[in-house]
Amino acid sequence: MAGDSAEVLRIYQVGELTVVGFGGIDVPDEACIADYRTQLGELIQQHNCKTLAFDLSGVTVVPSGMLGVLISLKKTGLEIELYNPSPDVLDVLAITKLDGMFTVREVDLDSDD
């Protein structure tokens, strides 16, 4: 499964603001979560990341394990931003009372400007 997660997690920008996404598809099931945690940890260390943003464009489902990863990252002191979450993802965040933990933004990531 490790190969599957590496193919899904996309890195759009690195540095103090690091932006990653899932290529416009739903986050795979819980089996890939450990791989995501490892990849994200390496990115954070390598690029002195202060803010980690997740592009959720096209994502309608975020597994509970991935929410756990986001919470763990937030607890390390990182700022966590969620770009373009779907109404379904926003509902899950509200129901779980996690909506106040993350910064939610509508961002045009396709812009060439």
| Structural domain contains residue 111 | no
Indicate the helix (H) or strand (E) that contains 13: strand 10-13
Lookup: tokens for 41: 């940890």
Considering its fold, how many domains does the chain have in total? Answer: 1
CA separation, residue 23 to residues 26, 50, 54, 70, 79 (Å): 9, 23, 11, 18, 22
Please write the tens of the pLDDT for every residue from 36-86. Answer: 888 999 999 999 999 999 999 999 888 888 899 999 999 999 999 999 999
- pTM, 2 dp: 0.85
| Structural domain contains residue 39 | yes
Residue 1: pLDDT over 70 = no
Any bridge partners for residue 83, and if so which? Answer: 55, 105
Handedness of CA 103, 49, 78, 98 (dihedral sign): positive
| Structural domain contains residue 110 | no
